[in-house]
A and B are shown apart, each in its own frame.
Chain A
Amino acid sequence: MKTVVPARAAWSAVVRTGETLTVTDLHGNQAVDFLVYDAHDTTVRYSAPDTIHAQGNLFLTTGSVLMSNEHTPLMTVVADEVGRHDTVGGACSKESNTLRYGHHTWSQHACVDNFLAEGAKYGLGKRDLVSNINWYMNVPVEKDGTLGIVDGISAPGLTLTLRAECDVLVLVSNCPQINNPCNGFEPTAVEMTIEASGATG
């Protein structure tokens, strides 16, 4: 199943155990905000701290296991053409935009609104949103702890592939942010491909 997610849009799917989800950065440097839940118990959901702690590293790439808040594996990165994805920055919101850029950004669309709208289809609400992954987003940390979203290292057509370790619900916000380099200041479409176990595409 292939789906193009337009710039700024939300998307979701259930990915069954063993199936893979490939995210294609069609035009390059598009941040793909990503949350994942156990499809049968959404109180078990992606945990940035458990994932960071389990692999001892902030950046995600091939071999990284996305851990739940109960320290169980949800998905594994089985292929990655970029080499670095963000676990720290979380989603943009209308509220945090007022702090980061100013109150003039309030009318702009933001990832938290995408997550709330898409999550509502599954009975998920604000309580169910936690720190998310940002595929293709580049957030280095300096010696003194300074961190920030900087120019991406992705390029048009690059992909990453995740294998579901249990039946999972995936929520995506194709980030609408236009105030920082996460999208090269211009959000673009991405493609989602779900394949059966063992398929080679």
Chain B
Amino acid sequence: MATATTYGARAHARAQEGSRTEAMPVVPAGAWPAPPCEAGHLVWAETVAAGNYTHKVLARGTELRLTDLRGDACAHLLLYAADRPWERLNVADTVKVQWNAYLGEGQLLLSDQGRVLASLVADTSGRHDTLCGTSTLVRNTQRYGDGTPQSASPAGRELFKLAAAKNGLEPRDLPPSLSFFQGVEVRDDGSLDFTGSAGPGGSVTLRAEQDVTVLLANVPHPADPRTEYVSTPLEVLAWRAAATAPGDPLWEATPEGRRAFLNTAEFLAARGIA
């Protein structure tokens, strides 16, 4: 197709519509084949490329399923209260308040305001991490030769900076993150064992308990001992569902969690939201 003229260039660009690649957002999400929810409820359907990032604002009650398609995805996650980003994921409170260093079904992702941002409602992987955060430009440059976003070995923090910027946030808004699908275990002396992945097909499902801004970077775990940069695509699906309500077993699972849900409900009621 001739692109020497404006008409040819326009026709050439428009002819790309409908192209498919392995890693891309599907818009509208309802066009995703075989959605895991009622027809019409899917709101986000995307495959995030290895070494790439994505972001979205999700309404309270949305369920978000992350799937490690081929066994070498690592989903680095940050959460913020949508439109109030000064309330954000606090990894220290998340592990301290719940008396547990590991993530799994039933854990809550807590904000610094004593409230629930999201709950972890399903987990078929069990290999996650709250301790090592994400990778950096300095470290990836040492390990892989480069860590810039456009390189073959982007660092998670560099991708988070871009995702944050697109939501009006700056590097100082990036607190410690957590990661799914590549795990770490703590020995008695405080040293860490990298457990790696549970294999292809593992998934976790989060439920948004407030309106949240989600930042996701799919890059190798910083403690991954392999010398090469190994990363594979991450599937992201989200659908309309219901937030956790009083009487739900999750609401009552622990005293700390119950008070976190109560604080969240109180906050939403005062704002006239729920």
Contact = CB atoms under 8 A, between A and B. Distances in A.
B102 interface: yes
Contact of B176 (A70, A127, A131): A131
Interface residues of B, number: 46
Contacts of B192: 52, 56-58
Contacts of B132: 49, 52-53
B176 A58 contact: no
A57 B259 contact: no
Nearest to A72: B138
Contact of B114 (A42, A70, A93): A93
Interface stretch (B36-44, B84-92, B198-206): B84-92
A107 interface: no
A151 B170 CA distance: 39
A102 B93 CA distance: 15
Contact of B256 (A90, A95, A99, A112): A99
Interface stretch (A15-23, A139-147, A154-162): A139-147
Interface string A44-66: 00011110110011110000000
Contact of A70 (B138, B175, B260): B138
A99 B99 contact: no
B113 A89 contact: no
Contact of B91 (A99, A128, A131): A131
Most B-side CB within 10 Å, residue of A47, A59, A90, A93: A90
Interface of B: 86, 90-93, 95-97, 99-102, 110, 112-115, 131-134, 136-139, 157, 170-177, 186, 188-192, 222-223, 256, 259-260, 263
Interface of A: 42-43, 47-50, 52-53, 56-59, 69-72, 84, 88-91, 93, 95-100, 102-103, 112, 126-132, 140-141, 144-149
